[in-house]
Structure 1
Amino acid sequence: MKVKPECFVCFVSQAIRATEIISKKDEDAIRALKNVSEVLSRLSYDVAPPLISEFVYGSITKTLDHDDPYSEIKNKYNKIAIAYIKNLKDYINNSEDKLQAAINISVAGNIIDFGSQIEKFNIKETISKAINEGFLVNDIKDFKEKINKAKILLFLADNAGEIVFDKLLLETIKSLYPNLDIYIALRGKPIINDVTKNDIEGLGLEDIGTIIESTKPTPGFWPDYCDEKCKKIYNSAEIIVSKGQGNFETLSEFDDDRVFFLFIIKCSVVEGYLKKPKYSHIFAKKSSLC
C-alpha cells in the first residue's frame, strides 16, 4: 500500500501530537513542524506510509532532543490494559473456540493507536464489538490449518497497551500448540506508541516466546530493515501474525499467504484501499482482502 495524498494529514497530525507531548511552547512546535515540512518535501512517496513516518518522527525527536515522547503514555496504557485481563481471560477460558476468542480480544487491543487516529478511542466498546460482532473478514479456518502444520510462528507486535491483549492470544496459542516455536518481533527503537523491549518489562512475554527486534524505527514491519537474525526468522516462519494497521500498510506490499493480518481499519486511506468500512475488524491473508 503506497502513500496517498490523505497520508499527509496523518504525517502532520503525528508531528503535532508528538511535539505537544514534548513541549508546550509554540516556538518549539513551529520549529519542529518547519523541519518536518522540509523533510517531507525531500522524500520519495512511492513507498508504504510507515516508511515515511520514520523520517517525520525522527525529525521531531532530533529537533526537540527527545527520543521517546510517548514513553509515559505507553506505560499508562499497559496499566489500563492489564486492568481488563482477568475478565478477558475468563471470556477466553469459557469459550468453546478458545483460539477465536483470543483473536477477538487481540484485535480489540488494536484500537490503542496514537499514529493512525486523531479522535479518541474507547477500549471497552471495542472489546464488546470484537466479542459480539466478530470480524468482517475472518480467515480463522485457514489459520488453523496452517498452524497445525507449522513449526515456527512469528508474531509482529504493534503498540504498547495493545501488547497486553496480544499476550492473551500468544498464551492461548502456546497452550493449544505446545510444540510451536513462537517469536515475537518488537520495534527496535521508539516510534509513536509502538512497542519496544523497554515497554514489555514485567509483562512476561519472554515466557511465551523468543523476543526479537527490527532495527529502524518504522511503525510498520519492513523485512529489509531487519538484522540477520530477524530476517532468518521471518524467512523461515511457516505462519506470521501481522498485528496492527501499520504492519498491514507495509506487508501488504508483498503477496505472502503465510501472513495473517489482524487489525482494525482506522483511516480513510486503508478504508479506500480495501474498499471496506472504517473500524471493520480484519483477520485475513492479503489474498482474501485485495
Structure 2
Amino acid sequence: MYNKVNPLCYPCVLNQALSTAKHLDLCESDTKDLLSVAMNYLEVSRYKPMMVQHIVRYITDVAQAKSGKTDVYHEVKLFSHKIAQKYAEQMRTQIPHHPQPLQYAIKLAAAGNIIDFGAKSHGDLNIEA
C-alpha cells in the first residue's frame, strides 16, 4: 500500500506543474488550471494514499490535452541532443588517449547524466562550459 504524499513534496509537485506549463507555452489561465489540478490531487492525497508520480502524471495528462502536444520536453531534448552531438566525436577520440580511459569515460558519462535535462530546462547553466 502506498503512503500519503509527504507535505515536503508539495512544492516540487507545484513546481513540476509550473515547469510543464512553461515548456508547453501554456497561457496564464491554463497554467492556473494545472496548478489547481496539482493542488486538488495533493488535497486528495491527504485522505487517500497516492504516489507523487501519479499526481505528476495527471498534471501532464491535463497539460497535454490543453496544448495538443504529447512530449512536454521535446524542445529541451532537441537542444540537449544537438549539444551532445557537437561534443560526442571529440570525447570519443579523447578517451583512448587518456591515461585512465575507463575512469575518464565514466566521468564523461556521469557529466552527461548530470546535464540530462529530460525533465528540466537548462536554466542558467552554461551547458558548454
Assess if the C-alpha contact under 8 Å between 2:73 and 2:118 holds in 1. no
SS in 1 for 2:111: helix
TM-superposed CA distance for 1:5, in Å, is 4.5
Determine what percentage of the aligned residue pairs are the same residue: 27
The TM-score normalised by the length of structure 1 is 0.36
How far 1:54 sits from its partner (Å)?
4.1
How far is the alpha carbon of 1:111 from its aligned partner? 2.8
Spell out, residue by residue over 1:22-68, the C-alpha distance to the aligned partner (whole angstroms, 9 max, x if none).
Answer: 233111011111011111222347xxxxx513421x22232231431
* 1:116 to partner: Cα distance: 6.6
**CA-based RMSD:** 2.7
The partner residue of 2:28 within 15, 26, 29 is 26
Indicate yes or no: 2:81 matched with 1:53.
no
State the Cα distance separating 1:12 from its structure 2 match.
1.4
TM-aligned CA deviation for residue 97 of structure 1: 2.0
Rounded Cα–Cα distance in structure 2 between residues aligned with 1:7 and 1:109: 26
Structure-2 residue corresponding to 1:95? 98
Structure 1 or 2: larger helix share?
2
Matching residue within 51, 74, 80 for 1:71: 74
For structure 2, list consecutive stretches of 5 or more residues without a partner in the other structure: none
The CA distance in 2 between the partners of 1:95 and 1:115, in whole Å, is 32
Please give the alpha-carbon distance, in whole angstroms, between the structure 1 residues aligned to 2:6 and 2:123. Answer: 20
**In 1, Cα distance between the equivalents of 2:103 and 2:79?**
28
Alpha carbons 1:95, 1:101 under 8 Å: kept: yes
Where does structure 1 lack aligned partners over 5 or more consecutive residues?
A: 46-50, 126-290
**Alignment coverage as a number of residue pairs:** 118
C-alpha displacement at 1:18, in angstroms? 0.7
Determine the C-alpha separation between the residues in 2 that align with 1:54 and 1:120.
29
Counterparts in 2 of 1:5 and 1:110: CA distance versus 1, 3 Å: farther
Q: When the two structures are superposed, what TM-score results if normalisation uses the length of structure 2?
A: 0.73
CA distance in 1: counterparts of 2:28 and 2:9, whole angstroms: 24
Pairing partner for 1:107 from 107, 110, 119: 110
User: Contact 1:92 / 1:98 at 8 angstroms: preserved in 2?
Assistant: yes
| Structure number with larger C-alpha Rg | 2
Residue 35 of structure 1 corresponds to which residue in structure 2?
Answer: 37
CA distance, structure 2, for counterparts of residue 11 and residue 53 of structure 1: 9
In 2, distance between residues paired with 1:7 and 1:117?
20
**Which portions of structure 1, spanning 4 or more consecutive aligned residues, are displaced by more than 6 angstroms?**
none
| Structure-2 separation of matches of 1:4 and 1:90 | 47
